[in-house]
Amino acid sequence: MSAPLLKVDGLRVEYGRTVAVNDVSFEVAPGEIVGLVGESGSGKTTIGRAVAGFLTPGAGSIDLAGDRLGATRSLAQRRGVQMVFQDPYLSLNPRLSTWSMLRELVTVHRLAPKAQVDDFVRTVLGEVALTEELARVRPSRLSGGQRQRAAIARAVVLRPQLIVADEPTSALDVSVQASILRLFASLRTELGVGFLVISHDLSLVRFLCDSVLVMQDGEIVERGPVAEVLTAPQHPYTQRLLKAVPRLPSYAKTSGNNREKP
C-alpha cells in the first residue's frame, strides 16, 4: 500500500472547555476522496479547519506526505492543503475579481515566470471551466455555481496535494451541484489531488467518495469503503443516520394517500 497523503493521528481540538474533536485518526491516500459525515456539531468542520491550518489542535499530529504540519506553516506547506468553503457567497473577496485573486496567488508563490502568469491563470480557469470574461468581474456578478468554481480555482491554482471541501455544494442549486461534483472527480483524475469532503449529504458521499468516516460527538464511530459503510452500516449511529435520509414515497403509496374518496 502506498504511503498516505494525509495522516491525522490522535487529533484533539477544544473550544474553551468544550471538546469538539477527540482522538481522531485517519488517512487519505494520494488521489483518494474521503468523505467525512455526521450531524451538525459532530466535529466535521473542525477537523477540516485543523487540517487546512485554520485552527491549532490541542493534541495530535497532522502529516502531509510525511511532512509534519505544525501551528505555523511554511509557504509550501500552506500550498499543500487548500480549502473550499460551504458558502461561495461568503468565501470570495467582494472587491477582488477571480482573475486578480489567481494572479496574486501565482505571483506570491512564484508558480510561473512573470511573462507566463496570465497563461497559468488561463490554464487554471480552463480546469474549473470558468471563462476569462467571468473571471474578470467582481464576485457579486457571478452566479452561485460560478462563484464556487472561482473558489475551487483559488484552491486548484496552488496545485495542492489535498483539498478540504466543506459542504461544497450545499449552498448551490441541485442542477449546479452535479457539475461541481463532476469537477471534483475530474480534478482528482487529471491533477491527482486528494480530497477530504465534509458533508451531511449521504447521496453526495455515495456518488463522489471512495471511503467514508462517520463522526459522532467529536469521534469517528465507523469507517470504511463507501459501498460497505453506506450499504451495510455496523454502528447504530450510522444506521440511524442512513434511516434519517428522507426518501420519496413510492408512487402507489402517494397516489393512494392522495386519492379522493368517492
Partner 1 sequence: MTSTRPGATLVAGLAVVGTMIVLAIAAPLVTGHDPTALGLTAGLQPPSWSHPFGTDQLGRDVWARVVYAGRTDLRVGVLAVLAPLAVGTLLGLLAGYFGGPLDRVVRFVIDTVMAFPFYVIVLALVAVLGTGERSIYLALAAVAWVNYARVVRNGTRGFAGENWVAAARGGGLSRRRVIGRHILPNAVPQLIVLAVTDVVFVILAIVTLSYLGLGIRPPTPDWGTMIFDGQAFVTTQWWIAVFPGLAVLVTGIGFSLLADGLADLYRERD
Task: Give residues in contact with partner 1 (CB under 8 A).
Answer: 52-54, 75, 78-79, 81-83, 85, 87, 90-96, 104-105, 108-109, 140, 151, 154, 158
Decide whether 75 or 244 has the Cβ nearer to partner 1: 75
Written as nine digits, the cell of 113 is 515566470
- Tell me the β-bridge partners of 83: 164
Decide whether 124 or 214 has the Cβ nearer to partner 1: 124
Task: Tell me whether residue 40 is exposed, middle or buried, using C-beta atoms within 10 angstroms of its C-beta: 0 to 12, 13 to 18, 19 or more.
Answer: exposed
**DSSP per position, 6-25:** EEEEEEEEEETTEEEEEEEE
Decide whether 20 or 158 has the Cβ nearer to partner 1: 158
- Compute φ and ψ for 10, nearest 5 degrees: 60, 35
Least CB distance to partner 1 at residue 95 (A): 5
CA gap 225, 235 in Å, rounded = 14
Can you state the percent helix, strand and coil of the chain, rounding each to 5?
40, 25, 35
C-alpha torsion angle, residues 200, 159, 3, 222 (rounded to 10): 0
Strands 59-64 and 6-15: antiparallel
Least CB distance to partner 1 at residue 138 (A): 9
Decide whether 178 or 191 has the Cβ nearer to partner 1: 191
Least CB distance to partner 1 at residue 134 (A): 18
Decide whether 52 or 172 has the Cβ nearer to partner 1: 52
Least CB distance to partner 1 at residue 45 (A): 11
Least CB distance to partner 1 at residue 66 (A): 20
